[in-house]
Amino acid sequence: MSLNNIQSILQQHSKLLVTALNLDFGSACIEVRCLLQAVLQVNHAYLISHPEYQLNDEQYVRYSTLFERRLSGEPIAYIFGEREFFGLNFKVTPATLIPRSDTELLVEIALQRITQQGACRVLDMGTGSGAIALSIAHKRPNAEVVAVDASEAALEIARLNMQQLSLNNVKLIHSDWFAALQDKRFDAIVSNPPYIAADDAHLTQGDLRFEPRTALASGADGLNDIRCICAHAKSYLNAQGWLLLEHGYNQAESVRVLLRQSGFSDVFSAQDLAGIERVSGGKI
C-alpha cells in the first residue's frame, strides 16, 4: 500500500497529530481531512469514496508543508486564514483570537436581549476578528453595532470581515476599552475579554501558544479586564441595558459578584453545551 494515498495519509498522520498535540483521534482525523480537502480541492464525500487516490508529487509537497505546520502546533485556523463562527466565515490571523464555538453562546444570549424591531445600539468590546459584533449585526440589521479594540491590526481584520459580509450597520473604533467612546450609550454591551490568569500553564500549550497574549491574559486571577468593564459599563448603558460577558470555566461566581458590586440587577450565568457556566450578565 502506498503511503501517499488518501487512506494511508488519514490513518498515519492522524496518529501523528494525536501523539504530537494530544488531540483525540476523531479531532485529528478531521484536521487531516481538512488539509487534504484544501490541497486536492475536493469535499469530504470525495475523500470517503476515493480512499485509494494517490497524491501526485506536487500535491503531496503542498500537503506536507501544511501538515508540518500543524504538527508543530500552528492552529488550523491560522494555516487556512479563516474560521467558521455562527454560520459565517471569518478571516483570522495571529493578530486576532481564533473564534471558538463556546463564544456562540454569548451571541445567542445577546440576540435574545436585542429587539428585532426598532433601533438599538450594541457595543462589542475587544472585538478582535469581529466575530461577535458582525454575527450580531448580521442577525439584527436594525441594530447599530459599535466594535472596539486596542489593536489596530485586529481592527484591520475586523474591517476585512465586515466588507466580506457586506455589513453596513457596524462601526469600528480604535479604543482601549471605553477610552474613545466619550458619551456614547448602548442598549447592550457584550465582550469576550481576556480572562486567563497571567501564569496559567495553558498559555504555553496548544493553540494558545500562537494567539496574541494580550487578548488572553488579564492579571494574576484573569479578572482585571472584567473588573474594568464592570466598573465602567453603567456609564455607557441606557436604562434597562444589559452587560454580557464571556469568562473562564471557573469564574462565573466571581463575575456575578463583580456585576452586583457594580450595581447590576437580574444577574445570571448561562451554561454552554458542556454544562459549564460560560457567560454571565446583568442589567441596569
Distance CA 248, CA 230 (A): 16
> Where do we find the cell 438599538?
120
Q: List average pLDDT for each run of 10 residues in the chain, which is 284 residues long.
A: 84 96 92 96 95 96 97 95 96 94 96 90 98 98 97 97 98 97 95 90 81 82 95 97 97 98 98 95 96
Q: Please compute, for residue 40, the number of CA atoms within 13 A of its CA located in the half-sphere on the CB side.
A: 22
The answer for 129, left when phi > 0, alpha when psi is -120 to 50, beta otherwise, is alpha
Q: Which residues contact 94 (CB under 8 A, 6 or more apart)?
A: 78, 210, 211, 212
Angle formed at CA 245 by CA 257 and CA 238, multiple of 5 degrees:
90
Cell numbers linked to 67: 501538515
Distance CA 136, CA 188 (A): 11
Distance CA 178, CA 19 (A): 44
pLDDT of residue 2: 56
Q: Which residues contact 76 (CB under 8 A, 6 or more apart)?
A: 31, 34, 35, 70
Three-state SS sequence of 66-99: HHHHHHCCCCHHHHHCEEEECCEEEECCCCCCCC
What CATH number labels 97-283?
3.40.50.150
Helix axes 104-112, 131-139, angle to 10 degrees: 40
> Where do we find the cell 465582550?
191
pLDDT of residue 78: 95
